[in-house]
Structure 1
Amino acid sequence: MNVVSEISGASLPEMARAYGTPFYLYDSAVISDRVDQIQKRFPLVRYAQKANPHLAILDLMRKKGVLVDSVSAGEVHRALRAGYPAEEIVYTADVFDDRAVGMIKNHPIQVNCGSADMIRQFTEIRPGGEVFLRINPGFGHGHSKKTDTGGPGSKHGIWHEEIPECVRLAKECGIRIYGLHMHIGSGSNFEHLSKVAHAMAETDAGPDIRVISAGGGLPIPYRDTDEPIDLDHYYEVWDSQRKEIEKRLGHEVEMEIEPGRFLVAESGYLVAKIWAIKETAAFKFYLVDTGFNHLIRPAMYGAYHKISICPADGRDLGESEPAAVAGPLCESCDVFTQEDGGVVITQDLPKAQIGDYVIIHDAGAYGRAMASNYNTHPFPAEVWIEDGKHSLITPRQSFDEAIGGERLPG
């Protein structure tokens, strides 16, 4: 039965009373465990902070020797604030902007170039510098078309047929191509993984390649029936191609991996309170005080998140029944139990009552990071669990803070 009353020894009702609902909860032990799993295989691990850029998480990653990826000047700023030296930060975005130009001029940040224009602009930003090339191999894969980052419909990376021209351009500009980066989508399977690794090995970007990046996209078992990823196999696929590149170039080539979701998703929970229970001809709905403004993955991708119930009064819960869980927003798609295309479904949940708590699992990645103030709902609090103790790492946003940057004209 999907009943949860505590996380890593910390009482959920106690935290709900202390911080109010909704709130995000992160279990630091889970993050540490996932980092350890990856570091046993890959010598260089770089965290894709877009999954969850909270300073507490970045601080933990840094302390565990994980490098960091940034997809904006703001994320570079976060990494610096978290104590990362600039040399351990990489900038991987589709464009430069004014703020990114300033960051790269002032800090020795590694840069991934995803277009010929970026190479030209980098020449002006850092003359005589070195870059990675982000490659679009001509195909992609993802758990949703919206997470597919390769192929002719993707804006990411240099189209594979244009690599020779970009290599020539970099040479003319006095830019050294130091590494290759390739990421074709999230949730990619081993068949596609083998294709992308082989495509990396076949890419001729000159003699100076010293590092290849396997990107990210490692899936997690969102459903109880999902199999965990075979990390040993994942490593072997990439390492075999790394060795092929070494043979061709005649020198050592390092390999790094860039996970985001894998490191943090399973650490996170979104905790909300049930405020209304209603039934239609088709569904029983539990209506809660959080919506796609705080966790957009179900509405955007039709993504599945396991849901549990926590009784507010500690009572034993009754038998399970099919129920849908939905939020407070003035949008029909504000439903946590839905499939791609907006089809409402149910999960078997214990019979709950108003005041009980809904626990949405595996919400540590692309949850708070993609949140908004839609309908002027403030951002939720964020809570950290370490050694069985909980602490507030982000206070709940106030209404005034939600509109604090706005001004009347004149």
Structure 2
Amino acid sequence: MDYKNGHFLLGGAINPLKLVEKYGSPLYVYEADIIERQYNRLKAAFQVEKLKISYACKALTNISVLKFIKQLGSTVDCVSIQEVQIAIRAGFEPVNILYTPSGVNFSEIEEAVGLGVRINLDNIPAIERFGETYPHIPICVRINPHIMAGGNLKTSVGHIDSKFGISYTQMPLVQGVLESTGMKLEGLHMHTGSDILNPEAFLAGADVLLNLAKEFPDLDYIDFGSGFKVPYKPNDLETNIEELGEKLSAKFNTFCAEYGRPLTMVFEPGKFLVSEAGSFLVTVNVVKHGATTVFAGVDSGLNHLIRPMFYDSYHRISNISNPEGKKQTYNVVGYICETDTFASNREIPEIAIGDVLCLHNAGAYCYSMSSNYNSRLRPAEVLIYQGKDYLIRERETIEDLLKHQIDVF
């Protein structure tokens, strides 16, 4: 979104205030042009013979977004059987879906096998049972590289005490299962965290994966996960994708030459593709002067966008109704019966009741983590592409909230 005049310029100079008039508030808006820009940037950064971008769809699972990303050439990474089912309905071929569960019942893995998708396992008991049940089906294995990386502890998933992945020190046990069952290992996988700024963290993880890969001669691909940091503030730091691409491509190409054949390099971007594409538009219900604080209360809360409360995440906030107003200091808060603060002590152009505020970087892990807490309804979603706006999810109604409830009296 263009921050100076409040228009979605990449989407074709669409005024977000008109979108609120048309679709109501609160409202999620996604710019497909930005998703396309991010996808192309990532593809251009890595100079290897075989490269695959696999969208981590847990960031945003709207089926229209999935179909658009598929059109760009992406495959998809799913972490639940429901995500797998949605991806198939979006048109992804099962062979282009990687299912990476954590801590699920084996029956869910069996269901994924029945759908024909690729399987990525992260614990030895599951690998043993899979090898006994499906020795003819190749698998990928998720490695824990023992690397602390990410924006904070909640989003760091590759450290030694993380629940995710198999410790790289336990790979001889995996090798034993493969040998006893005759099962093929087609890929190695890791994901160390989210909001990783330092390319060296990726390179350290790559060293772990590539050293392990030397012990497995029949691999088809190596999946480096993702976690690239995107900017959340003006002049914010971000992962230097071009620098990482140059360094990791050189390392990977050297490995493939030594391995004897080119493997596929895979990345699983979620936030990198969709975070900056998303804007969350909310309307101010009240401006409340406390003893020491001025509160701007909006028609949303942690039920729609929980990241600031859950991760202490920063989302830049613009007053698109009064972008040139004199800046005042506000706490922007929600309407939930909890402390649902979007921003504290934030300088924002003067806010009045009825103003529309924009929370930026609302494309990733925002709608997908929303709920009906306080029996509130979830908002609509709109996609902008090449100057046109499309409603891609209707606003919920009270009938949606009651649909699956059963009155026994």
TM-score (norm 1): 0.93
Counterpart pick for 2:124 among 86, 103, 116: 116
Structure 2 Cα separation of the partners of residues 399 and 120 of structure 1: 47
Q: Say if 1:350 and 1:64 are closer, same or farther in 2 by CA, change over 3 A.
A: same
Matches within 5 A, 1:52-67: 52-67=60-75
Structure 2 Cα separation of the partners of residues 51 and 191 of structure 1: 24
Q: Say if 1:222 and 1:123 are closer, same or farther in 2 by CA, change over 3 A.
A: same
Corresponding letter in the other structure for 2:377: P
Structure 2 Cα separation of the partners of residues 233 and 316 of structure 1: 35
Matches within 5 A, 1:8-27: 8=9, 9-27=13-31
Structure 2 Cα separation of the partners of residues 200 and 39 of structure 1: 21
Structure 1 Cα separation of the partners of residues 309 and 327 of structure 2: 25
The alignment of Structure 1 onto Structure 2 pairs a total of residues equal to 399
Structure 1 Cα separation of the partners of residues 109 and 143 of structure 2: 22
Counterpart pick for 1:191 among 185, 200, 203: 200
Aligned-pair CA distance for 1:247: 4.4
Q: Does 1:71 align with 2:71?
A: no
Corresponding letter in the other structure for 2:243: H
Aligned-pair CA distance for 1:85: 0.6
Q: Does 1:357 align with 2:366?
A: no
In the other structure, the counterpart of 2:302 is 292
Corresponding letter in the other structure for 1:330: C
Aligned-pair CA distance for 1:229: 2.6
Structure 2 Cα separation of the partners of residues 283 and 69 of structure 1: 44
In the other structure, the counterpart of 1:243 is 253
Corresponding letter in the other structure for 1:116: I
Spell out, residue by residue over 1:49-107, the C-alpha distance to the aligned partner (whole angstroms, 9 max, x if none): 01111111110111110010000000000110000111100001113436633432323
Spell out, residue by residue over 1:358-379, the C-alpha distance to the aligned partner (whole angstroms, 9 max, x if none): 1000100000001011101111
Q: Does 1:210 align with 2:228?
A: no
Structure 1 Cα separation of the partners of residues 134 and 96 of structure 2: 17
CA contact (8 A) 2:140 2:188 kept: yes
Aligned-pair CA distance for 1:248: 4.5
Q: Say if 1:2 and 1:354 are closer, same or farther in 2 by CA, change over 3 A.
A: farther
Aligned-pair CA distance for 1:7: 1.8
Matches within 5 A, 1:247-266: 247-266=257-276
Structure 2 Cα separation of the partners of residues 290 and 126 of structure 1: 47
In the other structure, the counterpart of 2:366 is 367
Matches within 5 A, 1:101-250: 101-188=109-196, 189-204=198-213, 205-250=215-260
Matches within 5 A, 1:335-346: 335-337=341-343, 345-346=344-345
Aligned-pair CA distance for 1:409: 4.1
Q: Say if 1:297 and 1:4 are closer, same or farther in 2 by CA, change over 3 A.
A: farther
In the other structure, the counterpart of 1:6 is 7
CA contact (8 A) 1:309 1:358 kept: yes
Q: Matched residue of 1:263: which SS?
A: helix
In the other structure, the counterpart of 1:341 is none
TM-score (norm 2): 0.93
Aligned-pair CA distance for 1:228: 3.7
Aligned-pair CA distance for 1:250: 2.4
Gaps of 5+ in 1: 338-344
Q: Matched residue of 2:275: which SS?
A: helix
CA contact (8 A) 2:228 2:238 kept: no
Of 233-242 and 220-229, more deviation after overlay is shown by 233-242
Structure 1 vs Structure 2 CA RMSD = 1.9
In the other structure, the counterpart of 2:328 is 321
CA contact (8 A) 1:68 1:90 kept: yes
Spell out, residue by residue over 1:323-343, the C-alpha distance to the aligned partner (whole angstroms, 9 max, x if none): 1211000112x0011xxxxxx
Aligned-pair CA distance for 1:404: 1.5
Aligned-pair CA distance for 1:209: 1.8
Q: Does 1:95 align with 2:103?
A: yes
Structure 2 Cα separation of the partners of residues 281 and 34 of structure 1: 45
Structure 1 Cα separation of the partners of residues 32 and 104 of structure 2: 33
Structure 1 Cα separation of the partners of residues 379 and 169 of structure 2: 46
Q: Which runs of 4+ in 1 moved over 3 A?
A: 1-5, 95-99
Spell out, residue by residue over 1:11-48, the C-alpha distance to the aligned partner (whole angstroms, 9 max, x if none): 22221121111110001111111111112134311100
Aligned-pair CA distance for 1:284: 1.3
Of 385-394 and 67-76, more deviation after overlay is shown by 385-394
CA contact (8 A) 1:4 1:309 kept: no
